[in-house]
Structure formats: C-alpha cells, structure tokens
Amino acid sequence: GAVVSQHPSWVICKSGTSVKIECRSLDFQATTMFWYRQFPKQSLMLMATSNEGSKATYEQGVEKDKFLINHASLTLSTLTVTSAHPEDSSFYICSAKGQGYSNQPQHFGDGTRLSIL
Amino acid sequence: DAKTTQPPSMDCAEGRAANLPCNHSTISGNEYVYWYRQIHSQGPQYIIHGLKNNETNEMASLIITEDRKSSTLILPHATLRDTAVYYCIVSRSAGGTSYGKLTFGQGTILTVHP
C-alpha cells in the first residue's frame, strides 16, 4: 500500500529556533500534500494544503510566515516552524494524495512530535 | 463539506464484528465517505471509502444506505489491535476550494476487549 514517511518523528528544541519537518511519499507521486496539527486529546486540524510547484493554501488562523511550506517535488513537502515557541508544541502530521482518480484517499505519515522548551 | 456524527465510544469483544455507525445527512452528490482510524501516537490509517455502493477490502466493509445519509463501517473479526479512534469523513471528490480536504471530527473510540 501507499507509504508516506515523515521525519523526524520526535524533536525537542529551544524556544526561538526553527524546525523543519519532512514528508515524503515513498511509492507514489503526490500532487497534493496536507499538513495537520493535533493537540493532546483533540482531533486533527488541517493547517495547509500544498500543491507541487505552487504556493501552499493556508487555513484560516494559520500564520503563513510562521509555518513555511515547500512542495518542490512530487515526493517531498517540508514544513518549517519558524521561531518556535512553547505554544507551537504539538503533533504535526502530513498526508499525501496521489495523481489519478480524484477520489483517491490521502495517506498519512506517522507524525512528528514537536516539543519546544 | 458535510458534517458527520459518530458515537463518542463503543466496545466490542475480541473476535466479534464491530459495527461503527456514522450519520452524514447533509452529504451532497459529489462527496465520498472515507473512514480512517488513529491508533495512539500514530498518524491516521486509511481504511476504506465509497460513494454509494457498498465496498469491501481486506480490512473492512463499508455499508452506505440508499439515501446516502448514513453509513456503517464493519470490522468483521475485531482484534485487540483494532482498538483506535475511528473517523468517518465526507469529502468532495473534485472541484471547489475544499477539494480533497478532510475535516476530522472527534470520531468514535473503539475499545476491543478480550
């Protein structure tokens, strides 16, 4: 089945630093990738939609200058949390959607747990 | 996208069938029903999806009512490893600003017990 790899799986860093998270589709080409955030005991919330070769579309309330998204190839999207602060600590999850039929499901990575001290 | 309603929690005995209901009474003609599950501290796992016909794969069966206002996910022989949060999501298949987006609700916490 479709495999999406996310790296790193866990990161701790100091307040004020920037953190980059990678999302790769390993066995299919992903024209669209999605980034979600999940706080403890809550459901996933979509942050942004990333289409290969174009600017990401951010959901209302998500700061585009804070969460930089790059989708430079059909197999890789990156999320950079800039100048991270403790309130950015969360579980960040990416998903990828392949080419072909429009009803193709999204496949998710295993998430990145980000802790800002 | 149409909103879904699921029971917050369900229990199931190991080896028995788990039937998880979902209401999506405002679903529109171009919206599919998707089911995902999330095991603790992992990303969601795709299970199955359908438009109007019943679907079956190696993981589960999806039964969609004729009016498409509700559906049931069936895990035929639940195991302890099926304990997870199950999400029923309706999503537009094409077109519009919400194309392809998945809006996660609170889902159903399924607990499979020995």
Instruction: Kindly report, residue by residue over B7-32, the tens digit of the pLDDT.
Output: 999 999 999 999 999 999 999 888 89
**pLDDT computed for residue A28 by the predictor:** 86
| Chain segment A21-54, per-residue pLDDT in tens | 999 999 888 888 999 999 999 999 999 998 888 8
Residues contacting residue B91 through CB under 8 Å, at least 6 positions apart: B1, B31, B32, B34, B98, B100, B101, B102, B103
**pLDDT computed for residue B94 by the predictor:** 55
Distance from the Cα of residue A44 to its chain's centroid? 12
**Inter-chain touch B43–A6, beta carbons under 8 Å:** yes
- Most B CBs within 10 Å, among A43, A71, A94, to test the B interface: A43
Cβ–Cβ contact B50 with A under 8 A: no
pLDDT tens, per residue, chain A with 117 residues: 678 999 999 999 999 999 999 999 998 888 889 999 999 999 999 999 988 888 899 999 999 999 999 988 889 999 999 999 999 999 999 999 876 656 778 899 999 999 999
Alpha-carbon distance B73 to B37, whole Å? 11
Q: Is the Cβ–Cβ distance between A106 and A50 less than 8 Å?
A: no
> Does the structure show a pLDDT above 70 at B37?
yes
Residues from chain A that touch B107, judged by Cβ atoms under 8 A, are: 43
Q: How far is residue B56 from each of residues B40, B48, B73, B76, B83, measured CA to CA in Å?
A: 25, 8, 10, 11, 20
Residues contacting residue A60 through CB under 8 Å, at least 6 positions apart: none
What is the nearest CA distance from A39 to chain B, expressed in angstroms?
Answer: 11
**pLDDT computed for residue B93 by the predictor:** 63
Mean residue pLDDT of chain A comes to 92
Residues contacting residue A45 through CB under 8 Å, at least 6 positions apart: A36, A37, A38, A59, B104
What is the nearest CA distance from A82 to chain B, expressed in angstroms?
Answer: 23
Residue B82 is given by DSSP the state G
Residue A87 is given by DSSP the state G
Residue A18 is given by DSSP the state -
- Looking from the CA of B105 toward its CB, the CA atoms found within 13 Å total 22
Q: What phi and psi values does residue B81 have, to the nearest 5 degrees?
A: -75, -10
